[in-house]
Structure 1
Amino acid sequence: MAFPRSVCPILFSLALISTGCGADRSDDHAAPAGSMVRILSTTPDHSETLERGDVVNLKAEVEYQLNADSGTLSLVIQESDMSTISVHTEVVTRGSGTSVFEAEFVVPDTNAVLLFTPLTGQGQAKTSTVDTLAFKVEANDSEELYLEEATLIDADHCAISGVAIGSTYRDVLSAFGQPANVSEIGGDRGDTNRPGRSLDYEGAYIALIEDSVIIVSSESADHKFPGGLGPTSSREDVVSAFGETVGLSGEDREVLAYRCRDLRVLDRDVMVAVLVVDGTVESISVVHDDEH
């Protein structure tokens, strides 16, 4: 699961992305003349089809040429509706080079997973110097079971460090303090174009649309569910507290899914996801269920 999410400290407009990305674009938003970026390879290869609910360990090798003293290179992973899955960024300096980005995420309910690699020069707020690839996404055989038969848990459990779906920005600051990074995001919950922000903390990630939390997740033992269940807990602890449930598994890991009883926020159900690796909880998340 792609948490915590390293959030890019620059803004870029997806409306600027079009066929021919990766070339030096002669518009007001392109990186300095002579700059370029290209995705050399990905693991898994982008020709492979992803399945919804699978845990993906992505590696992307990106080549760049920057004709500025410094800038930023990012890997942005999004759903087909431009919802943000994960953003990773690093500072680069003048000249050419190759960067390798790594990200782990659960494939969401979408038709495609899109990769973008925007390159900006120092001081740029937007860029059209970007390369892109797309992964096709298909339904997992277990997906219907995962969505429909998740065990119900009391709504009181559906919060992390006191922050729940629908909490406000002030609630977040009260519980978590000031974030290490803040990034503006577009509306990324299906049919809404409302603005929002994503917040990076040490071991935690929170996203809001307008002033309402839509995602809260933690990889830190400092941020847990009510009652103390969270990262470093055992699978047995989860089952003891919440009961057995459906899940999606692969190799040494599984995602346990729970549905929050009688809890709907912004006309959507709320889900809890627990990522278990080798029998130990690695991350916990409370999210909107986009389908129901």
Structure 2
Amino acid sequence: MKHTFLGTGTSHGVPMIGCSCAVCTSTDPRNYRRRSSIYVVTENKHLVFDTPPDFRDQALSFGVGRVDAVFLTHPHADHIYGFDDVRRFSTMQKQHIPVYGQPRTIKQMRKKFDYVDRPSYGFESVPRVKFTDMTEPVSVGNARITPLPVSHGNDPVYGFLIEGDSRRMAYIPDCNGIPETTFRQLQQLDVMILDGLRPKPHPTHFSISECIEQLQKIGAKKSYLTHITHDSDHEQLQKQIGNDITVPWDGLEVAL
């Protein structure tokens, strides 16, 4: 199993439009943060988790050459509005690509991208996908993906447990509460990636200190935070939290 951080930033991305703070104007490429997404290759299957507005740039920058399935955490703009670029993969692969999410997410996808299901378009004109309500684990080849219900403010959203190649990793990019039923599934992980938005508290996201507390409780072999704002400089944040937890950057590839 290997995974690539396609994006590690919050909804505005970093640099943020109209901001001249030290992080937004930094020359450290690790401070350039696209909207959050990951690319996982396991059991010879290529999985994308969220298609943010930066998805085309992410695919070109970090070598996303195939997509066997897409998993969506929730239908907020910063997690879905690069979805149309999935059509390049369905065109190249000459097949419909399954797209999974909780029922409310799939309902919103059908509404926001209503042209996908119209038969009048040619095959290459729209993403050719199979929208699928996900309420239980699904298999993509020999890989197994389990939905992880979590709280994002008042919204119930998903994270995902990904199992393959005798490895286990979990990805929860938007979250401020983990129910006990989900927490019990986050045991004996090789990798845990969790929302750690900013130093100050936020009503719908874990703060960095809250994220660290949760990561320490989970105790994965490798722990990462993501969905990071311009409030944190990469190098300074890494020094602050120590070496047990990694501050990732866009394009970081981790092989397990």
Q: Hey, which of these two has a bigger chunk of helix by percent?
A: 2
Structure with more of its chain in strand, by fraction: 1
Same fold per superposition (TM over 0.5): no
The structure with the larger Rg is 1
